[in-house]
Structure 1
Amino acid sequence: MVALFVGLRLYTVLGRRSGHEQQPVTRPEAVPGTETAAPVTDVAADRSEGGSLVYEDGAAAGVRAIVTADSSFDVARFLEGAQGAYRMVLEAFWRGDKQEIAQLTGGEVRAAFDEAIDTREASGHRLENRLVAIERAVIEDARLDGRTALITVRFDADIAAVTRDAEGNVIAGSLEDAVPAHDIWTFQRDLGSNDPNWLLVDTDDA
């Protein structure tokens, strides 16, 4: 159970502190907010996309403030990019790719991921996890702090996870059974910067 917890939920420990950042210049198409799209002019009338909720009522004022400060910001496109970033960060962590994690995260989140990878490698453990599906992604909070935009997204996903020891023996999990994961990640971007990318800066569990 401990190994499975580390494999699936370690990232919930990564963000119970500050909150702000996210994403790689090499693959901006998967980065929240990198797209140039028509601005959302009426956030109250644009809370859903394809029948799915895009953001909660409590995030409306913050979304409106961000749209006002950055006319290129598009809510639905940001959320699509956030889902891509969610997958990329998890997969990079599972395979122990510190370089990609450094492109996607910042601050204490990056340091915590690196430390967890080091601990896992020192124990000789290897993860064979798979993100089966993101069932739901919705903006729970948004705010503008000066020129810094912060957006918090809740992800409800199904993850299949296996942890193997140094000899390749399965010590936890199964790829046959997906486990529900409920994560809250916060992304940050300096709207005054020429860099259009967002960084993951805070993680927590729902």
Structure 2
Amino acid sequence: MYLVILFAAIAAFLALRLYSVLGKRTGHEQPLPRPAEERVGAPQMPRTIDMPPEVRETGPRAVETGAEGGLRALVAADPAFDVNQFVEGAKSAYRMILEAFWKGDRETLDWLVEPDVRESFVEAIDAREAAGETLDNRLISIERAAISDIALEGRVARITMRFDADIAAITRDKDGNVIAGSLSDAVETHDVWTFSRDLASGDPNWKLSDTDEA
């Protein structure tokens, strides 16, 4: 069985950090580069290929209708996959990756995202630092997080998540003066992130392999 390595690490990590330093693009500040969870750990409990009943009950759907076929194929290929654990891990990844990007934390990005995505992030960070600008962002809330697509390419699984969030952010110049945005007004944002994992690998973790806007 896979060990849920990252979920425990995520919980400990997030407990030590203030949500006030988290962020997301809002239109007020530098957009995320393209191509763009933290790794999302594989779950422990085996699942059947039937749609999990909790996905169909009240509340926001964890899996959108168009992704149900892909989910069945993924569970058939990896019976240990659990929808709810993945979604919760993806939400934590969303926070951690954004925090690393806003802070210019290249080391953290190394183990959260695929190499080509990291390169795009680092290029944007380098440009921001060269301009003497810093980002002051706050993730107010994640209103919705759901799987919108699942694809299998050989043994490589790709899960696309849609995140609807409220964000407040500002951009400061080298002297600390606000040049864009506001921390008093939250902006509704809609993002589409794709996480990938080689099912044949012994590594149970998922990495961010692409970002886009909904």
Band the TM-score falls in, shorter-chain normalisation: 0.7 to 0.9
Give the paired residue count: 190
1:189 to 188, 197, 200: 197
3-state SS of paired residue (1:112): helix
For residues 67 and 34 of structure 1, what CA distance do their matches in structure 2 show? 12
Please list every run of 5 or more consecutive structure 1 residues that lacks an aligned counterpart in the other structure. 17-21, 24-30
Please say if 1:82 is aligned against 2:90.
yes
1:67 to 75, 84, 90: 75
Please list every run of 5 or more consecutive structure 2 residues that lacks an aligned counterpart in the other structure. 1-24
Q: Show structure 1 runs of 4+ deviating over 3 A.
A: 3-6
Please say if 1:162 is aligned against 2:184.
no
Residues 50-59 or 141-150, more deviating: 50-59
Please say if 1:108 is aligned against 2:116.
yes
Q: CA RMSD in A?
A: 2.0
Q: How high is the TM-score relative to the length of structure 2?
A: 0.82
Please tell me whether the aligned partners of residues 40 and 46 of structure 1 are also in contact (alpha carbons under 8 angstroms): no
Change (3 A) 1:180 1:43: same
* 1:38-49 aligned within 5 A: 38-43=46-51, 45-48=53-56
For residues 121 and 42 of structure 1, what CA distance do their matches in structure 2 show? 49
For residues 58 and 43 of structure 2, what CA distance do their matches in structure 1 show? 19
Please say if 1:205 is aligned against 2:192.
no
* 1:31-42 aligned within 5 A: 31-42=39-50
For residues 120 and 49 of structure 1, what CA distance do their matches in structure 2 show? 44
Partner of 1:7: 29
Counting aligned pairs with the same residue, the percent is 52
Please tell me whether the aligned partners of residues 141 and 166 of structure 2 are also in contact (alpha carbons under 8 angstroms): yes
